[in-house]
A and B are shown apart, each in its own frame.
Chain A
Amino acid sequence: MSQQPTGTDNILELTNVTKRFGGLVAVDNVSLSIKRGEVFALIGPNGAGKTTLFNNVTGLFQPTSGQVVFDGRDITGSKPHEVARWGIARTFQNIRLFDYMSCLDNVRVGRHVRMKAKLWDSLFKLPRERREEERVTNEAMELLRFVGIARQANVYARNLPYGQQRRLEIARALATDPKLLLLDEPAAGFTPQEKMELMQLVKKILARGVTVFLIEHDMKVVMGISERIVVLDHGEKIAEGSPDEVRKDARVIEAYLGKSA
């Protein structure tokens, strides 16, 4: 799944993106660009507007102003399902799996957008529909193996332990064949051991040719895997750079890590 660069090195470019809710400015004039094949992290204190920024990229919200360009295409104001079709997948801060569907089915739903079966194919179980179903089942199993929960294929998603639910959400997102994967606090609530495993998983995802854009609170995780970091505070971008640069930035220390850090 190697990436075919189309024109530019940047897979995602935000230009002056602003999101207002009434009088509240949740995202304030943020510009950033993510390079193909990197791990890019978005950090900031609670309520800094990180998830809102994600929602503006994935079409859940429409930016009040500004522009979102993905892979050379202006996707500002697109609907969530269009964004997914163009190659952005995401996970959610509060896990949003399909609770009463099996793990296998969760991942197969992720494959939906890459499937071709039309109503008539499914209604009459035409041979090409059967072949596609078989192929998708195999691909879904492969993804479950990739994130390490293949043994749970038949279990309801809600019955998985917490850490495996996070993995399943990643598998489901990968099933859409994304070029860019947005992870919203993937290590929240993880033990140190699970965090290590997650970092390895992110590296494996990167090796598949998927660019990773993540929100994370845990500084060890962020510093360990990301190549570049943007820091948001009160909706504004206050710093950008390599982990080392950000760590030394006075404003970041003040806003995020606290003065005593």
Chain B
Amino acid sequence: MARLHLRERFKDRDTAIFGVLFLGALVFPIVTMFATGSSALIAQAGHAGTFVLLAIGLNVVVGFAGLLDLGYAAFFAIGAYTYALFASAQLGSSPLHHSYHLPFWLMIFVGMFVAAAAGAILGFPTLRLRGDYLAIVTLGFGEIVPQLSYNLPQWTGGINAIGGIDQPSLPAWITGPWAGANSISIIQGAACRVIGSGTSFAPCFSFGFDPIAYYALVVIMIIAAVILVGNLYRSRLGRAWMAIREDEVAAAAMGINTVTTKLLAFAIGASFSGFAGAYYGASIGLVSPDDFLFIVSITVLVMVVLGGMGSITGVIVGALAIYFVLNTFLPALPPFVENLANNVGLGFLNTQNGDWPGLAQETQRINFLVYGLILVLMMLLRPQGIFPSRVREQELKHAAVNEDEAAVEQVHAS
């Protein structure tokens, strides 16, 4: 029974983490607005949310089904471009000569489906490959997509990116005095599209560049993703993924169609990436091939591995931690080191001297060495990830294991 007790604690652990994350997400914008008086941090948190979504999606592929995908950013790009193309003036200058402005709320799902379809199309010929070979093919795909967008400027704007992407809008009644009036622009007429491509007569507000609106949106998207992926994990399909990860031959002998099951993992993982891509395009307002390079795929993979493959809470925390290290900790390091040297009487290190560029410059230069060291340290300390996945909680209320099982076992044994 001690074992069962431990499992209860694991279950509580995940519930507790979700609770803390949810409360944190609610409190964060309020606290930062009061503390800093600006919404810059909230904008950054919204951006971090994109990576949380990506990590949740990649976790389905890598953590659940055990397929190594090194080109995940490609699906992110596909989602972002799907939205950018149909919600900006871009297609007007393409061979189509007609620009489209479809609403965000429709395109976010279109982006999902297009990315999922891309995942299925890539997966169909390649998922017969195993391990290393699959990794190499996905790596190649991850290179192809940004290269295509660099080299098809008439469609994607190439190196100039697609700018002026439409911002989401919602009926004005959703906003109100609680939303902070100065950041809301009430609009009417053609720019006011909520659902469908027709004009809505009710007044709308555009998200504009209001970080709080995007932050709220990404938090809702993450909650939806967590619920959906959690449901899949505890289902027939989730078990089939795990079985394939554990032993593909045995899984096939149990009647699991391994090819279609792996294809589903690929497509579902890709769909979350497409979802995140559409959000990303809308929140940044600019989609450039530079945002989808190999380093993005690797960063998301690091988030998944470091957070705890297969564990939803783990990958969320992993994504936030790595995002923090990359975007807050590392940039803050050079000035911090400089101040530190001054305060402890080593100020001479800060002056340039021959080949020595000064401490801040030097720290800047070895930034990624520090990043690497942090990763190595974290993997040494917790090789299984920050919050590793647990044995799934068992629904034993319906099939209680109690002492008379012992009697049953005795009867069978004799």
Contact = CB atoms under 8 A, between A and B. Distances in A.
Contact of B247 (A81, A98, A149, A153): A98
B254 A110 contact: yes
A110 B242 CA distance: 13
Interface stretch (A6-14, A27-35, A44-52, A117-125): A117-125
Given A119-B237, A133-B235, A58 B254 contact: no
A138 B252 CA distance: 23
A62 interface: no
Contacts of B408: 145, 148, 150
A117 B236 contact: yes
Interface in B229-266: 231-232, 234-240, 242-243, 246-247, 249-258, 264
A129 B412 contact: no
Interface string B247-287: 10111111111100000100000000000000000000000
B344 to A, nearest CB: 49
B392 interface: yes
B64 to A, nearest CB: 12
Interface residues of A, number: 58
A58 B249 CA distance: 11
A145 B405 contact: yes
B254 A123 contact: no
B399 A137 contact: yes
Given A122-B236, A150-B401, A151-B405, A133 B395 contact: yes
A102 B391 contact: yes
A148 B409 contact: yes
A204 B264 CA distance: 38
Given A81-B257, A122-B235, A138-B399, A96 B412 contact: no
Given A98-B246, A122-B232, A156-B391, A112 B401 contact: no
A89 B250 CA distance: 10
A92 B250 contact: yes
Interface string B397-414: 011010001101100110
Contact of B398 (A99, A121, A138, A175): A138
A96 B413 contact: no
A160 interface: no
Interface string A105-122: 100111011010101011
B246 A101 contact: yes
B399 A98 contact: no
A141 interface: yes
A90 interface: yes
Contact of A84 (B234, B247, B255): B255
A187 interface: no
A20 interface: no
A109 B251 contact: yes
A140 B239 CA distance: 14
B394 interface: yes
A136 to B, nearest CB: 8
Nearest to A134: B398
Contacts of A112: 236, 239-240, 243, 254-256
B174 interface: no
Given A129-B235, A145-B408, A197-B413, A98 B394 contact: no
A112 B241 CA distance: 11
A176 B253 CA distance: 10
B228 interface: yes
Contacts of A176: 254-255
A36 interface: no
Nearest to B310: A100
Contact of A141 (B234, B249, B257, B399): B399
B35 interface: no
Interface in A10-66: 58-60
A154 B4 contact: yes
Contact of B392 (A60, A81, A102, A117): A102
B181 interface: no
A127 to B, nearest CB: 13
Contact of A98 (B243, B255, B391, B406): B243
A156 B242 CA distance: 13
A113 B238 CA distance: 14
Contacts of B391: 102, 154, 156
A80 interface: yes
B252 A81 contact: yes
Nearest to A135: B398
B253 A90 contact: yes
A137 to B, nearest CB: 5
A3 B249 CA distance: 28
A155 interface: yes
B396 interface: yes
Contact of A154 (B237, B243, B401): B401
B239 A151 contact: no
Given A84-B255, A154-B7, A100 B409 contact: no
Nearest to B401: A153
B413 A154 contact: no
Contacts of B249: 60, 80, 96
B130 interface: no
B98 interface: no
Interface centre among B3, B255, B408 (most CB of A within 10 A): B255
A147 interface: yes
A58 B412 CA distance: 29
B401 A151 contact: yes
A79 interface: yes
Contacts of A166: none
A70 B250 CA distance: 20
Contacts of B250: 92, 96-98
Given A98-B242, A122-B237, 9 more contacts: A59-B252, A60-B249, A81-B255, A81-B258, A102-B394, A117-B235, A133-B234, A141-B399, A146-B412
Those 6 A-B pairs whose CB atoms lie nearest each other, nearest first: A113-B255, A84-B255, A148-B412, A122-B235, A141-B399, A98-B246
15 contacts: A81-B258, A96-B253, A98-B243, A99-B247, A101-B242, A109-B242, A109-B243, A109-B251, A121-B235, A133-B395, A134-B395, A141-B401, A145-B412, A173-B254, A175-B254
